Structures are given as C-alpha cells and as structure tokens.
C-alpha cells in the first residue's frame, strides 16, 4: 500500500502517513494507493467551491478515482480539524484520524447525504473502522447527525 502526503500552506502532522497505512490495512485495502493533502481553510474552500459548488470551508473532501488500485485523494483542512478537535474535546491527530476514516468511506462509495439508510450504513462503517484501529473518538456522522 502506498500513501502520498503533501501539505499546502500547513505543517505536516506527525504520524499521519502511518495512520493512513493502518486505515488501509483495517479496511482490507492493502494494495490500495491513497493521496492525502493537508491544507488550510482557504485552500479547501476554493476546492469546495470549484468541485462541489459550495463556497464554504469544510473539514474533508474526497476525490475518488475510477481505478482498482488508486483509491483517490483526500483533502483535509487542519484549521477546521483543529476547531472541531477543540469542540469535541480531542486532540488534532484523533480528529484527523476520524476525518481520514470518513473521507476513505466516501472514496469507497458511502454517502451519508443519500438518506437515513445510507447515513446509518456509513456511520456503522465509520464505527467499525475506528474500533478496528482502536482510535479514540466518535465517528464524524455520529457526532454531526446523532447516528
């Protein structure tokens, strides 16, 4: 498995590449390749406006690839993640881990915006991966949708 990490205007977060490899293994995607971009709010807001038509910051964006090996790209705003970590009472690395799980599930086709049933399926998948990895924190869907 390969993880490519780049940073746009922010410092790298120590351990994030190892976390991504652990996540791919837990999701049984050992042959997968994943690109992760850590950025600030300005960068992710521009991407969100360009690709989703939403002129607002967000925590994570997923850009799937139609490839069996290359899963896609995850873009994480460390600024938003830091605010959410403070609100949720956890560390930045734990919050980014939750965002990686959430983003990876989007790459795999899960979509919590497609109704209650799909939201529940994605929440369960988030919890399963977080538990497999023994990572702290509530899944993003559970914390925002009350699932």
| Tens digits of residue pLDDT in 4-15 | 999 998 988 899
Backbone angles phi, psi at 120, to 5 degrees: -65, -40
pLDDT digits (tens, 9 = 90+) for 73-117: 999 999 999 999 999 899 999 999 999 999 999 999 998 878 788
C-alpha distances in angstroms, 1 versus 18, 24, 26, 28, 143? 11, 8, 12, 10, 30
pLDDT at 34 over 70: yes
pLDDT at 145: 61
Percent of the chain with pLDDT over 90: 68
Residue 40, SS3 per DSSP = coil
The CATH number linked to 72 is 3.40.390.30
Quote the domain boundaries for residue 9: 2-145
pTM, two decimal places: 0.91
| Residue 146: band (very low, low, confident or very high) from pLDDT cuts 50, 70, 90 | low
| Residue 2: band (very low, low, confident or very high) from pLDDT cuts 50, 70, 90 | very high
Chain-centre distance of CA 37, in angstroms? 10
The total domain count for the chain is 1
Residue 106, SS3 per DSSP = helix
């Amino acid at each position: 498995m390969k993880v490519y990490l780049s940073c746009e205007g922010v410092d790298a977060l120590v351990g994030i590449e190892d976390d991504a490899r652990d996540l791919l293994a837990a999701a049984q995607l050992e042959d997968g390749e994943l690109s992760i971009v850590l950025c600030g709010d300005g960068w992710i807001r521009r991407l969100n406006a360009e690709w989703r038509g939403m002129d607002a910051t967000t925590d994570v964006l997923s850009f799937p690839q139609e490839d069996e090996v290359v899963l896609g790209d995850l873009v994480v705003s460390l600024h938003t993640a830091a605010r959410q970590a403070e609100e949720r009472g956890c560390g930045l690395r734990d919050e980014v881990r939750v965002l990686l799980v959430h983003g990876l599930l989007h790459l795999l086709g899960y979509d919590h915006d497609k109704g209650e049933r799909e939201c529940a399926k994605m929440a369960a998948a988030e919890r399963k991966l977080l538990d497999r990895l023994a990572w702290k924190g509530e899944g993003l869907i559970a914390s925002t949708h009350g699932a």
